[in-house]
Structure 1
Amino acid sequence: MTEELDLLKKAWKKDPHVYEQVTENQIYQMIHKRSSSIVKWILMISIAEFVLWSAIGLFFVDENYLKTLEMYHIDTLFKVISVLNYAVVIFFIFMFYKNFKTISTTDTVKKLMNSIIKTRKTVQYYIWYNLGMFAFIFIIVVISQIIYDPNINSLIESTKDVNPQVFWIIIGLTYFVLFALTFGLFWLFYRLIYGFLMKRLHKNFEELKKIDF
């Protein structure tokens, strides 16, 4: 479809008086179809992501996991976070579906451009929410682990002779590296998958700006 669009644009430039009206409509239809396809992929990927993380959550939620949450005194908090997270993600999926339906039925350049802007913002909010939720959960778990985990307490007891500042610097750096690696993987995933689709939507938006209806 990209090659066809480039050919139409070249033909338009060669003889604008002959091709102007036909080419404008054809270019718009191609961009419209391509944008609808991209938003459909965003919707499908978000659903697949939701199913994947739900399946992983069910797989890891066993008796030991629940006991660990109780030991950290965050079992109730995690239940609230889990319900809230499911609700927010489902809301975003609904918004992706709504954006897809809107773009699919759009019939003017201006409406399509507005729909693309709205879709890009929704995806950005979705990515920020997921990364923010990950960071929040990580911080909660780390604080609870340091306070309540008997292994951490034993480690603290066994290193009494070590300079406390040095000890906590090492602990802090260890958690920071762990956070940076896991956060970086999540960021890379969203950057590669959603970032690629967002760039294609932005390209469509720039093409629409060149059409003077």
Structure 2
Amino acid sequence: MDAALVALGLSLKVALCATALDLALGLGFGYLLARGRFPGRDLLDALLTLPMVMPPTVLGYYLLVLIGRNGPIGHWLQQHFGINLIFTWQGAVIAAAVVAFPLVLKGARSAFEAVDVQLEQAARVLGVPPLGVFLRVSLPLAWRGVLAGTLLAFARSMGEFGATLMVAGSIPGKTQTLSIAVYEAVQAGQDDTANLLVIITSLTCIVVLVAANRLVPNRAQGAV
């Protein structure tokens, strides 16, 4: 039971950090893709959405190439700051964030596209600066869609396995999240532990999904 609670706590920490990172980036890129008109927009959208369709193990390999000790980012971090992301919970955060990012991006883009452009234009005419338009008009009107995508990303981060295992490994109490702990328990023939971990994971994800589903209909009704 103690090991399950430790894995749950680590999974929550990783999922919360990954979701916060995805939210910050998803808001910016979602608004850019919803309102921007520039060459290569469709290509950028495809690249940012790629983690949704790419196998997690492939994403894990790419991350190892980028943030590993010999990778361009990993080598730079190690050389200048002494930071090593491989086999750390921070590495698990990056892996989960990359896998779940398209869910925040798609939710944010759809929500911003549903906002009436004339309302934003009216705010600009009244002298509101671009950042003020975003914070006072666009985001308040789009927050339900953004939050729904964010909750889905949190649920996805909680259950991330392939990329996390490749980047962070399976170190009990350090990088072993719930999904990895389930895999290890099954491999070790510990059915009772595996069942407990599966129930905890399932209940957590169900709660998040129910909350996300409640937001989407409300958003649709508010637009009628």
TM-score normalised per structure 1 = 0.32
Higher helix share: 1
TM-score normalised per structure 2 = 0.31
Structure index of larger Rg: 1
